[in-house]
Structure 1
Amino acid sequence: MKKTLLCSIFSALVWLPLAVQAVEVSGVNVPEKVAAAEGTLHLNGAGVRKKMMFEVYVASLYVTQKSADAVAVLGSNAPRRMQLTMLRNVEAASLYQALLDGLQANLSAGQLKELAPKVAELEKIFAEIKSVSKGDVIVLDFIPSQGSKVSVRGRAMGVIEGDVFANALLSIWLGRVPVSEDLKKGLLGKG
C-alpha cells in the first residue's frame, strides 16, 4: 500500500512540470503565465502573424481572466498584455506602418483624429528602436487608468497614456478588421 502511494506521488511529481510548461508556437516557447507589475497574467491564446508567405512574429495575449470573446477582452478594465516575439528581422518603420494600418482599419476617421497625438507617440517609439531582429520581444502592457507601456528587448520605451488608446491598439489584433482572422482566433484560444 505504502509502495503504491509513493509510486503515485512520485509519478505525479514527475509529470507536474509538464503540465505548466510553455506552449510552443512556430518554434517559440510561449509561457502559460507571465508576471506583470499588475500581477500574474494568464495566456489567453497565441498565434503567428503571417504576411504573404512569411512568418513575421508570434503574438501572445495575456489576460487576468481567459475569454474567447473579443469584445469582452477589448472592453475589459483589467490588465492585459500583447507580446510579439519576432520571427524575422524587420525595420521598425515597417512594423509601425503595419500597426498604423491596423488602427486605420478598426477606427473611424474621427477616432483616428482624436488619437493622433497618441499615434505620434507610438511612431516616435518605433523611430527610436530603428529595427527589430529575429528573437526580439515587443511587449505592450495595457495598464488600466494609465495606458500602454511599450517595452522592446526588455527595455521600457515609454507609456502612451489612456485606456482608449490601449483598446484601440489591441483592436489591431482583436477588432472587427484584425490583421489576421486566424491570428485573432488563436489569440482568443479558438485556433
Structure 2
Amino acid sequence: MKKRAMTLVLMLALTAGVASALDVGGTSVPDKAEVAGQSLLLNGAGVRKKVVFDVYVASLYTGAKVGDAATILGATTPRRMELRMLREVSAGTMHESFVDGLQDNISAGDMKRFAPQLDALDKVFREVKTVGKGDVIQLDLLPGQGTRVTVRGKAYPVIAGDDFASALLSIWLGKSPVQAGLKAQLLGAR
C-alpha cells in the first residue's frame, strides 16, 4: 500500500508543473496565458463558424473564471482573446468582421469615436495581409493602456483605450455576439 501511495505522489509531482490543454475543434488550447506579468486562466473556448465553415477557435483568458459577460467586459484586469485560425482569411475580411461585430454591439457615436483605433487595427491587418490555418491572433487587453495585438508572434503597437478594448471584447461577449453559442462557450458553458 505504501509503495502504491508513493508512486501516486511521484506521478502527481511530475505532472504538477505540466500545463494541460483543452481540445477544441481538434485544436489544443492552453489552459493558462501570461499577460502583463499576470497568469490568466482559460475562461472558455469554442469554434467560430461562418455558414458551414470553421473559421477559428476563440479562447478567452481572465484572472478568475467568470460566467457573466458584463463582468468581463467591465473588468479592470488584464484579459486575452485568442483566435487560432482554422482556415485562411484575408486581412481585409478579418478587419471587416471586427468592424461588423463592433457595429452590432456599440453605438454609431462610439464607432465614430473609435475611428483612430479602428484605423490602427486596420493598419495591423494590412501589414499582416492574410492569416492562415494555424496562425494565432492574440488581443491582450491591458488596463490603463489599451489593446496589444499580436499576430504569428509579432506584437504590434498598443491601440489606446480601455473603452476600445472592452468594445473589442463585445464582438464575442456583447448583446449581439458574433455567435451566441460561442459566447456561451467563452463564458464557460460546455
CA distance in structure 2 between the aligned counterparts of 1:92 and 1:100, rounded to whole angstroms: 12
> Corresponding residue for 1:76?
75
Tell me how far 1:36 sits from its aligned partner: 2.1
- For structure 1, the residue ranges without an aligned partner over 5 or more in a row are none
> Corresponding residue for 2:184?
185
Structure 1 length as normaliser, TM-score? 0.94
AA at the equivalent of 2:42: L
> Corresponding residue for 1:44?
43
Task: Output aligned runs, 1:102-121, within 5 Å.
Answer: 102-121=101-120
- For structure 2, the residue ranges without an aligned partner over 5 or more in a row are none
> Corresponding residue for 2:125?
126
Number of residue-to-residue matches in the alignment? 190
For the 8 Å contact 1:82–1:139, the answer to whether it is kept is yes
Task: Output aligned runs, 1:26-105, within 5 Å.
Answer: 26-105=25-104
Q: Deviations over 1:133-169 (max 9, x none)?
A: 0000000000000000000000012210010100000
> Corresponding residue for 1:158?
157
Structure 2 length as normaliser, TM-score? 0.94
Name the stretch that deviates more: 29-38 or 90-99. 29-38
Name the stretch that deviates more: 145-154 or 37-46. 37-46
- Secondary structure of 1:158's counterpart equals coil
- Secondary structure of 1:94's counterpart equals helix
AA at the equivalent of 2:184: K
Instruction: State the identity as a percent.
Output: 51
AA at the equivalent of 2:134: G
> Corresponding residue for 1:140?
139
- Secondary structure of 2:159's counterpart equals strand
CA RMSD of aligned residues (A): 1.6
For the 8 Å contact 2:147–2:160, the answer to whether it is kept is yes
> Corresponding residue for 2:8?
8
For the 8 Å contact 2:35–2:79, the answer to whether it is kept is no
Name the stretch that deviates more: 48-57 or 1-10. 1-10
